[in-house]
Amino acid sequence: MSRRIGHGCGAVCSAGATPHRQRLGARRRERCGAGSRAHHGRGCVSTVRKTFFILLCFACRMAEGAETGRAVLIGTNVVSLGTYPSTEDRTVHVKIRNGGTGELKIEGVVLTCDCLRIDGYPPSIGVGLTGEVAVTIKKSEIAGAFRRVFHVRTDDPAKRLITMTVEGIATPPGFRIVPDRITLQASETTAKRRFLIAVDETLSSDITGLSWRFPLEGTDVCPRLSKSGHGFLVEVAFSAAAIERLKKNGPSVLTFKYHNGAEVPIPVCCE
């Protein structure tokens, strides 16, 4: 009897509680299922992030370990040719060393003036070796003081372009300056300098009608010319203002204009 009652009670209680318990169980299963799905989703995102991070680190290490060339310019990127006859070619030699761990490629030379000519460059430079790029200022293409630029292209990611500046003074044919430049001292307050403009015998040595210019405004430069053989002896007086301007602005050019239109430049600097 007691067994039946117990069995019956259990059956009754179980039967009576079934709908309620089923609802609770269903809710729990739903919550557990949602939580499991959310947890699974978070796990997938986390896995993707970890994978991406590992691949990124691997790529960085591969990049760091990659063998690449490194362009190292030997010397300065400004080349001065000084004073020379405009009837002559002048060639600039640019030396580049490969300081990297792989081959360095020279992809070309970019010119910015028809007065320039590419004479040659190596297509590549081995590790630790030095190559040379040659560019020429063509004769009779430039007269007077000039400044020209060209670029050397490389495959170095950090230095795709090496910019070179070439400057100089090309004197017209038939003239020679002795000495070929005027140098002042920074300690001087005023100064006088003399130089000779030698003129070819095929040109007139008439001293009249010559003119000159000095580009530093507000300065007092007074050239005095006198005949000297088949040429001119020039004495130039520089005021204190002229010297100060040279100190501040750097080298300049005193230019004489001759009868035939030729301009004879004389570089002036202050040390």
Specify the higher pLDDT residue, 174 or 32.
174
pLDDT tens sequence across 189-232: 888 888 888 888 877 767 666 777 887 765 666 777 777 777 88
Backbone angles phi, psi at 77, to 5 degrees: -90, 10
Task: Concatenate the DSSP letters of all residues of 162-185 into one string.
Answer: EEEEEEEEEEPTTEEEESS-EEE-
pLDDT, position 204 = 73
Superfamily grouping for domain 71-171: Immunoglobulins (2.60.40.10)
pLDDT, position 164 = 97
Burial class (CB in 10 A: 0-12, 13-18, 19+), 19: exposed
Q: What is the mean pLDDT of residues 120-138?
A: 97
What CATH number should be reported for the domain whose range is 175-270?
A: 2.60.40.10
Burial class (CB in 10 A: 0-12, 13-18, 19+), 270: buried
pLDDT tens sequence across 153-182: 999 999 999 999 999 888 888 888 888 888
Q: Are the C-beta atoms of residues 142 and 88 closer than 8 Å to each other?
A: no
Q: How far is 183 from 195, CA to CA, in rounded Å? A: 11
In the chain, which residue ranges form alpha helices assigned H by DSSP? 2-65, 240-249
Q: Are the C-beta atoms of residues 166 and 147 closer than 8 Å to each other?
A: yes
Residue boundaries of the structural domains of the chain: 1-66, 71-171, 175-270
Q: Between β-strands 78-85 and 161-171, what pairing exists: parallel, antiparallel or unpaired?
A: parallel
